[in-house]
Amino acid sequence: MTLTEARPFVSNPSYAQDRADTIAKLILQSIDKPIVDIVARFCELPCCFPLQSCFGHFVCDPEQDKYTLAPIPGGCKGPVRYRIAYIALCIEQSDLGRMLREALAEISKIDPTYIQFGSADWFWEKCLNSYVLQVEPSKYRNRDEAILDVSEARQVQAVRDIFFNELRQMVRVKDMFGQ
């Protein structure tokens, strides 16, 4: 994924239809379990819809399932293959949409070394006004995965957990985004 600076909103006359089509096709059971509640809540907000997400995976052993949701085991010595945690959203060009985009950008300020907000060319080409919030060491910000030493992997894991807790708190504020 090539993350770029967040692009400005552009006119998207197909937003309502794109939102309806995407949400109708979404299978919540296919979402990583720890973040199903977050993705479901974004579906309820009228100013956005989820495009793709991942809880982030820490693989410490070549035999380990690459989609594991388990935390890094205590005895792990490294290296750790990390597959990024992120959420990609299409956001409506509206006052509520601007508020949401600004709130998402604020989350990246928790730890800019590990959390980035922006646009990704691949998503933008498929859906105008798409934005990504991801957890990835900044030196790897344009990769879907990275090989990390165990101490950095543990730091990324801690930031990832804070990141999703912040998202969870943000989407619980019902009146903030029109629901």
What are the residue boundaries of the structural domains of the chain, listed by start? Answer: 3-172
Biggest CA-to-CA distance, the chain: 53
Q: Which pLDDT belongs to residue 49? A: 96
pLDDT greater than 70 at residue 96: yes
pLDDT greater than 80 at residue 1: no
Instruction: State both tokens at 70.
Output: 């388990």
Contacts with 5 (C-beta within 8 Å, 6 or more apart), sequence order? 118, 119
pTM of the model: 0.92
- pLDDT-derived band at 174, boundaries 50, 70, 90: low
Instruction: State both tokens at 50.
Output: 């989820």
Average pLDDT over residues 146-170: 95
Sign of the CA dihedral 157, 159, 164, 165? positive
SS3 state at 90: strand
Rg (CA), the chain: 16
**What gap in Å lies between CA 84 and CA 2, rounded to an integer?**
13
Query: Given this structure, which CATH class describes domain 3-172?
Result: alpha beta
What's the pLDDT tens digit per position in 100-110?
Answer: 999 999 999 99
pLDDT greater than 90 at residue 122: no
Average pLDDT over residues 24-46: 95
- Dihedrals φ, ψ of 29, to 5°? -65, -15
